[in-house]
């Protein structure tokens, strides 16, 4: 019962913070709400006994992506205003509605096989051994680090062009 309460509480936090990201005019506050959304998603992974994925969620999304977004926002001059001249609100709303209908249809029509028994051993150590045993996953981790560095360099180049 406690896990269900935690799940619904975290789900409400995820939906509320995601809506806040979309509706917030202040870019810095939207980025903070995005971090809250990422952390609540990591909490859902913890409830599902996916500790490694929760840690990866916190390290990659909160620790890297969200911090880069906040850094880029702080380097811009128009922190308090978003893009008020954006006229793509209605098409985006329609596209999101179609996507939501497709996802809801997929969730309702899928037969979900749920295990009644929780994992017998922690999944973190087994997954870490699988990723780092030399089977080629180390390259993917290094590739993600290269991607983050290229994002930082791209942000610096774009910032320098404006000055």
Statement: residue 99 has pLDDT above 80: yes
d(CA 96, CA 86): 16
What is the C-alpha separation between 137 and 143, in angstroms, rounded?
A: 10
| Helix count and strand count (H, E) for the chain | 7, 0
Residue with tokens 């205003």: 81
CA distances from 148 to 60, 66, 129, 136, 154 (A): 9, 12, 24, 20, 10
Residue 160 has pLDDT above 90, yes or no: no
CA distance 12 to 156: 36
CA nearest 49: which of 141, 143, 154, 123? Answer: 123
Query: Taking the domains of the chain in order of start, what are their residue ranges?
Result: 2-110+121-132, 133-163
Domain covering 2-110+121-132, topology: 1.20.120
The pLDDT tens digits for 100-131 are 999 999 989 998 887 788 767 766 777 777 77
Q: Regarding predicted confidence, which is higher, 127 or 62?
A: 62
């Amino acid at each position: 019962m406690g896990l269900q309460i935690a799940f619904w509480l975290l789900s409400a936090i995820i939906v509320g913070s995601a809506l806040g990201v979309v509706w917030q005019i202040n870019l810095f506050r939207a980025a903070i709400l995005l971090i809250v959304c990422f952390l609540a998603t990591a909490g859902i992974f913890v409830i599902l006994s996916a500790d490694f994925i929760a840690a990866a969620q916190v390290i990659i999304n909160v620790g890297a992506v969200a911090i880069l977004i906040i850094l880029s926002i702080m380097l811009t001059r128009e922190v308090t205003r978003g893009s008020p001249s954006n006229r793509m609100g209605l098409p985006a709303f329609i596209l999101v509605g179609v996507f939501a209908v497709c996802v809801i249809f997929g969730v309702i029509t899928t037969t979900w096989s749920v295990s009644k028994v929780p994992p017998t051993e922690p999944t973190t150590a087994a997954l870490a051994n699988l990723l780092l045993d030399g089977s080629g996953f180390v390259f993917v981790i290094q590739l993600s680090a290269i991607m983050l560095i290229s994002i930082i360099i791209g942000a610096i180049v774009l910032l320098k062009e404006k000055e």
